[in-house]
Each structure stands twice: as C-alpha cells, then as structure tokens.
A and B are shown apart, each in its own frame.
Chain A
Amino acid sequence: MEETKLSKLIKGIAWFYVSIHFHINLGPWDILPDWGGYGYILLALPFLAKEASSARQLRLLTIVLTVWSGLCWIFARRIDGFPGMLGPFGPITESIITVITLYFHYQLLTDLAQIADNYQCSSGAWIRHLRTVRVLIGTMLALPISWESNGVTRSSFALLTVIQLGAALSVCRALFVLRKEHRLQR
C-alpha cells in the first residue's frame, strides 16, 4: 500500500470521527450526515484491511450502520424519527444498532492502533486507551437508566456525554498525530 494513501485514509477517518459527533443542521437536514462517514469507511475498508487484516470483518457491520444512519437521516423530520416508525421493533433494533456501533468503533480503533504499532508510531497505545474509554462510556450511556429522573442522573449523563465528546476529540487528535508520525517516517 502506498504510504500517501494510508495518510489520506487516516486523515479521512479522523474527519469521520468529527462528522459523527458534530452536526450542522440546515433546517431538518444534517449536512454532516453519519451515513456519509460510514459510507466512507465502507469504501476505505479494503485499503485498511491491507494494513490490518481483521478490518475486513467490519464490512457487514459497516453496511448495517450506513443503511441505518441513512434511514435515520431521511426520516429525521418525523418527531419520533426512524426508530419510531418501526413501532414495537424500534427499541430492540436500536439496542442492536447500539451494540453494533460499540463493536464497530472498538475494532476500528484497535485496527488503527495496530497500524500505528506496525509503523512504530507512538500513538498506538493512546488510541487503544481512547478506544477503551469510548466503549466504557458508550456502554454506560446505553444502560436502561432513566437519565432524566433526578439531579444525580442528569449530572451523570451530562458528565458522561462530555467525556464521550472529549474522547472523540482526542481520537481525532490521536489520528492526526498518527498521520503526522507516519508522514515524518516516510
């Protein structure tokens, strides 16, 4: 694989993390839709798999996430969104999507950390650390807790969300550092 392609890929994944955590809306439409990010990852998986072979196994899950986020984006104007359209299937489908999302990011970051190790870049350990934080916070946020029930739960939710956003920004930074290290090596 050409190193320039790998650099571009890492940059693209860093921007993917920006796009799935920050949204700019024009009316009801999000101009940084998640499906765009997942679609990009789907296209990038074959290149990524040349560096970390296990990335190939993410294909099915990435397709599911791309389709799901695409449908959510299309039906964003509905009050209850796309999950609401699914009626009684909505909550369990959302739970399945949550676990797919947890796994997807965990493995993607694991693969990126492995690529960093392969090129003797220092950011591999930092990416693994962020991956762990992300999955733990994501799990806690997905627990069936009524976050609005009292002050303690509301504060906990706010704190977890801030940590989640902080971790996302740190992932972006770590990926840009990885790209820089890789280019310097080159």
Chain B
Amino acid sequence: MGNIWVFLLQTLSVSLVAAVILLIKRLFEDTLSPRWQYGIWGLLALRTLLPVSMQRSIVFPLPLWIESLKTWGESGLNSAYTQAYEGLSIGHVIPWISRWPVSVTDGLFAVYAMGVGITLAWYGVGYLRLRLLLRKGKSVDEALAARIRKVAEAYDLSACPAIMVHGLSSAFVCGVLHPVMAVPSEGELDDKVILHELLHLRYRDGLQSIGWCLLRALHWCNPFLQLVCYRIHCDMESLCDQRVLERLEGEDRRQYGTILLNMANETYASMPGTTSISNGGKNISRRIAAIVRFKKYPKGMALVSVCILIVLAGPLLWGSNYAYGVELYEPGPRWRLEQSMAMTRLNRCTTMAGALDTYAKGLILENGIYMASASSLSRQKELAAQMEKASREEGWAVYHLEAGEEFDHLDREGGYSIWNLEKEVDESYSALLAFPIKYFPGTESETEYWELQKQSRTPLNVTLVVPVTVRFEDAWVVEESGERICTNQYYHICEDGELYPDGGGSPIPFLWTLQGEGKTGSVQMQQRVGYRVQNTTYLSDFGVSTEGFDVSPKVDAEFDEIYMWSLLEYVHDTEKEPQGPSNSFHCYLQYPEAEGDQWNTEMSMYNYNLHNNPWEGTLVTTDRTRIEPEKPQSDESGYYELPLQAKFALEWDGQLVDEILMEVEKDGRD
C-alpha cells in the first residue's frame, strides 16, 4: 500500500464488509449461536489482509469513486507516491513509504503510516508495562493455586501460573507463549471466573486479540472500524461465556450471570495478548442478553452455520459480480469523461487477446474510452485531452476519438481480424489488425462504391490493415507501429472494367516462406497466421435470429481459434524424375509434434484425378490448418510459436513417391 488513495479504498472496502456482517448478524442474532456470531468476523479478518479488488466491489463502485477522486485530487500536485493518471494498485495491505513526501496527499499518507507505527508501538509498550507490572505481583497462595488446578482438571483444561496483583478489579490472562493469570489480591475469586479465563487460554483468545489489535492499528483513523473492533471483542467474550455455560449446570449458570452483572460498573482497557472476563460495563449488558438466549439457540445448526459462512465468503472477500461502470464506456456528458477515464485505468486488459480486441473495437466505434483501456497509462492524459477537444470544438459526444479517415467507410458488422502475431526481440509482439472497408480505392463516394459493387455482383471487401505492437506494461497495451494500408488485393479490376475476386489472394502479407527440394521436384510454402476472438452474437428480432458482431470490449479475452493459412507451390522436376503420375495425384502436409520426433499428419490438402485433366507438372494450392490454442506451443500470452518445419508428402497413383522437408528461409525468420 503506497499512497493515501489505496488506503482510502482499502479502509472503505473493509468498512463496507463490516457493515454487511453487522446486518447479517442482526438477522441471525436469535438463531445462530455465539460461535457463529464470533466466527463470521473471521471473514472480516481475511478481508482486512486481502488487497481490495479493483474490478469488483461488494456494494458501491468504490474503486471507481476513489480513482476519480484521485485524478481530481492529484491534478497539479506532482506527488511522489502516485500520479493523476496512474492506476490504483494494491500489492499488500501494509503501508510502505518509499520516498520523502512532496505533496499534501503524500504528507497525509506519511501521517497515516506513522499513525500505524505509533499505534503498534503504543500496544507494544502497553503490553511490556503490563508484563513488568505482573513481575512485581506475588505468587498466589497454595490454596488458590490448588483451586485453579482443580478447576482445570475438572473441565479438562490446561492451567497456567497465577500472579496476585494489588488493585485489580477482575482476573485476566496475559501472554501467548508464556501466559500468566493475573488475579486481584482483594476479594474472593470465583471458580467460574477461573473457568472463564482458562477457556480463554484453551482457545488461544490472547493470540486472536493480537490479530484484532493489528486490524485496529492498520485502520487507526477509521472510527467505524474501531467500534467494530469493540464489537468483535464483545463477541469473543460472549463466545467464552457460552463455553462456560455449556460446562455449568443449574444454579451455577445463574450465579455466572450475577458475576457478570456485578462487573457492569468496571472500566476496561484492552491490550493485545490479554483476555479478561470484564470488558466494560456497556458490553456486559450485551453479554447478559446473549446468556438469556443461551437455551433458545436451536440445536444441531453446525452444518448450516458453516454453509452460511461458505456462501458469504465469495461476495464478502472478493466482491459481488455486479458490473459497475459499464455505462461509462458509452457516450455521455462531458463532465463524465474523468470518470470514464478512471474506469479505463481500473479495467485494464489482462490478456494480449483482450488488448487487441479492445483496441480494435475502439477503432471500429471511434471510442476513445475503449482505446484508452488498451493503451499505455502514459497516453491517458493525451487521449482525454483529444476527446475533450473533439467534444468542445466539433460537438462530438465525449467518448469520440477520431480513428482516421480510413475508418469513415468501415463495415462495422464485419468486425476485425488479427494476423501474423510475432514475438519481437524486446519481448513485445507485432501483429496486424484487419478491418473490412466499404470503400474501394479510386471511388470518390459511397454511391460510386455501391455502383461498383453492383457491377461486380460480389461484395467488395476491401481491407484496411493496421500494424500494431502489443506489450505488457501494467497490463497489456496496444500501440500502432506503422503506416495503415488500405489494400484492394482481394479484388481487382479487369481490363474490361469488371471486378472479379483475385482467387486465393489476401491483403495480409505472408509471415514467412518454407522451402524444400525433393527427389521429384521442389516445393515452396508461404504462411500467415490468423487469430480469432469469439465475437459473434445472436440477436433475436420478432422470432428471427440474426448473427451480429459483439462490439463490447473483452479485456480478458482469450484467442478462441488460431488458423495457419498456407499457399503452396510444387513444381515437378522432370529431369530428376521424368515419370510423372498417370492416374491420380495426392499430397498432404505434416507438421512436427510439440514433443518428440513424431510428425502430425494433417488432412489431405489435394486430391487430383488425372483421367480428364492431364498432369502439367505444377501444383498451386492452399491449406488452412486450425490450431488448438491450448496446445503446449502457446505461451501464457496466447502467442503461438509456429513450427519452423513441415513435410510435403506426395503420392502418385497410390504410391508414396516423395517426402520433401521444408524449412523456413534464412531471411524469413530465425
């Protein structure tokens, strides 16, 4: 925990959980026993130790509120611990000061951190003073020591050394490793009070009180949590009362209540590592009420008590699944821009596929909020300024970010595709994002485009290719890395002015070429790789289901499919093997397995009957191989390391005549 904002978020989150626990305890006050009433605070202890999630919140969108507040508060401060456009992050819950404070917010955090230290020191000094005071006490007389041993034996408990201290109002146990029971030197000590203290010892309540004091120290400036800690302590004592009552019978139970009533006027100061039967007059009344309910608690509720804790653990520890801030990605008023930008800093892309998906959709919708989610935090200020300017000067809704004139004719329903993802030497990745465009180079207007499409009798899917770099910073981020290319390679205009598809072509360049020489001829194969994120959505309108493109960003998307596209050319060398096929020609590809020396046979890529079509000595064909993203070749980012070798198997007239090993060209890829 390195700045005041994350502390604010952590302490408010813990407070919300405490408030919900108090509400649930109120509902089950009469039905579930003190064991459960105290046990449920264990969830609060875990919540205190766990760093708060930035994506989920139990009730209110606290991370979003605090992030927005931080942007506002840190603007113009130039703090040492955080910046206005730096995302909130909590590695651990212990305050840590890395540098000298330079701003007001830095100073506040330093005060908080010092407060934690001072509170812990105060507890430590208080405990040491108490131990010193106990050293001055006298050992109890043999009669009392014998009574303590007798009580311990009667209830199968361990006894501990006892010290008689002058001026004490009631007994208590101090210490965890070497516990000591302090008893008042005046008055008669009741066996039930001894039993109570020995039960504290038995269940290590002193150790638990240290844990709760740590919670109090971490949230020393949160008065609500201080009150909650008092309540927790009271519940701990109520549980101990319950354990005492379970061991007592008839009149003893009534007398135990009377002992507690007699302590109603006593004051109490809690110290870590100590437990006492008296915990203040205000708490005694609550404990008496719990004792009154003792007989009423339904029996046999242990299983359902545990089940309730299990069900509550999810929402209380990790937050609910309520998707807050979704509306902040949509067009909104200008004053909401900072909140939307705050949302992008919280909702970072956790996967490479998620970053590419979010950035591509940002370009498609010209949505700057999407693009900011998938961009470096250092670009946040610049993107916000661009969006604000476009809104102020051109009247755009505040999320609008001009993607470039190439996107003016975008086919939004066509979505996008990812190509040729490749690992670079600096551990980043390069890729191509391809978008279908309803535009044809040379046409001046959309009308002219539609006229050309009418002539062609086929859709004109011209493609816009955007080269990008993807890398991991605080999250996966995308950056455009080269010139955008609007290509018409897929179609061409014939000399007669008609448009025809350019068979087998594609605007996407090949990633590399594999080549090989065999005994029958030579083969060359060019390859490109396509990655796909599932974005198909089905819309039902008047009972008719239509397929559409899901434009909502998926920051944690995975690659659902990977395709390897190959363009293969085989040339038969008649000088090497003059005898060609006479009846049939069949060929297929093999790729090396991830492990071992085995070759994986893919499906037949070409099967040719020569009865009607004589063999001309050259084969040009394409192949599409689907790769399972789960295969071991995929690294954690989802990147697929392509095989650098392939085998081209050739069968003539049913006989295997050649197996040509192809390898990547040296200038293609090392």
Q: Which residues of A are in contact with B by a Cβ distance under 8 Å? A: 53-54, 57-58, 60-61, 64, 87-92, 95-96, 98-100, 102-103, 106-107, 110-111, 132, 135-136, 138-139, 142-144
Inter-subunit contact B308/A102 (CB<8 Å): yes
CB neighbours of B324 from chain A (8 A): 88
Residue of A nearest to B307 (CB): A139
Inter-subunit contact A107/B301 (CB<8 Å): yes
Inter-subunit contact B307/A91 (CB<8 Å): no
Give CA–CA (A106, B300) in the complex, Å: 10
User: 20 A–B contact pairs at CB < 8 A?
Assistant: A54-B297, A57-B30, A60-B27, A88-B57, A88-B322, A89-B59, A96-B20, A99-B308, A100-B27, A102-B311, A103-B28, A103-B301, A103-B304, A110-B298, A110-B300, A110-B301, A111-B298, A139-B310, A143-B314, A144-B314
Q: Does B472 contact A (CB under 8 A)?
A: no
Query: What's the least CB distance linking B497 to chain A, in Å?
Result: 53
Inter-subunit contact A58/B24 (CB<8 Å): no
Give CA–CA (A61, B30) in the complex, Å: 10
Residue of A nearest to B298 (CB): A54
A91 and B321 in contact, given A57-B298, A102-B308, A143-B314 (Cβ under 8 angstroms): yes
The 8 Å CB contact of B315, one of A95, A103, A138, is: A95
Give CA–CA (A103, B400) in the complex, Å: 51
Inter-subunit contact B296/A57 (CB<8 Å): yes
Q: Does B46 contact A (CB under 8 A)?
A: no
Query: What's the least CB distance linking A179 to chain B, in Å?
Result: 23
Encode contact with A along B421-437: 1 for CB under 8 Å, 0 otherwise: 00000000000000000
Inter-subunit contact A106/B301 (CB<8 Å): yes
Inter-subunit contact A60/B310 (CB<8 Å): no
Inter-subunit contact B31/A58 (CB<8 Å): yes
* Interface of A: prevailing SS: helix
The listed residue with most B CB atoms (<10 A of its CB), out of A89, A90, A103, A136, is: A103
Q: Does B132 contact A (CB under 8 A)?
A: no
Give CA–CA (A100, B518) in the complex, Å: 75
Inter-subunit contact A92/B58 (CB<8 Å): yes
Inter-subunit contact B312/A107 (CB<8 Å): no
Q: Which 6 A-B pairs have the closest CB atoms?
A: A91-B320, A54-B298, A106-B304, A144-B314, A139-B307, A99-B308
Give CA–CA (A151, B187) in the complex, Å: 71
CB neighbours of A53 from chain B (8 A): 296
CB within 8 Å of A: which B522-545 residues: none
Give CA–CA (A95, B28) in the complex, Å: 14
Inter-subunit contact B322/A103 (CB<8 Å): no
The 8 Å CB contact of B59, one of A92, A98, A99, A102, is: A92
Residue of A nearest to B311 (CB): A142
Inter-subunit contact A95/B322 (CB<8 Å): no
Residue of B nearest to A143 (CB): B314
Inter-subunit contact B315/A99 (CB<8 Å): no
A88 and B60 in contact, given A54-B298, A96-B23, A110-B300 (Cβ under 8 angstroms): yes
Q: Does B269 contact A (CB under 8 A)?
A: no
CB neighbours of B307 from chain A (8 A): 102, 135-136, 138-139
A106 and B310 in contact, given A88-B322, A91-B315 (Cβ under 8 angstroms): no
Give CA–CA (A54, B294) in the complex, Å: 12
CB neighbours of B298 from chain A (8 A): 54, 57, 107, 110-111
Give CA–CA (A88, B315) in the complex, Å: 12
CB neighbours of A139 from chain B (8 A): 307, 310-311
Residue of A nearest to B20 (CB): A92
Q: Does B638 contact A (CB under 8 A)?
A: no
CB neighbours of A110 from chain B (8 A): 298, 300-301
Q: Does B61 contact A (CB under 8 A)?
A: yes
Q: Does B585 contact A (CB under 8 A)?
A: no
CB within 8 Å of A: which B1-51 residues: 20, 23-24, 27-28, 30-32
CB neighbours of A138 from chain B (8 A): 307
CB neighbours of B58 from chain A (8 A): 92
Query: What's the least CB distance linking A178 to chain B, in Å?
Result: 18
CB within 8 Å of A: which B280-335 residues: 296-301, 303-304, 307-308, 310-312, 314-315, 318, 320-322, 324
Inter-subunit contact A107/B314 (CB<8 Å): no
Inter-subunit contact A88/B27 (CB<8 Å): no
Inter-subunit contact B312/A99 (CB<8 Å): yes
Give CA–CA (A102, B296) in the complex, Å: 20
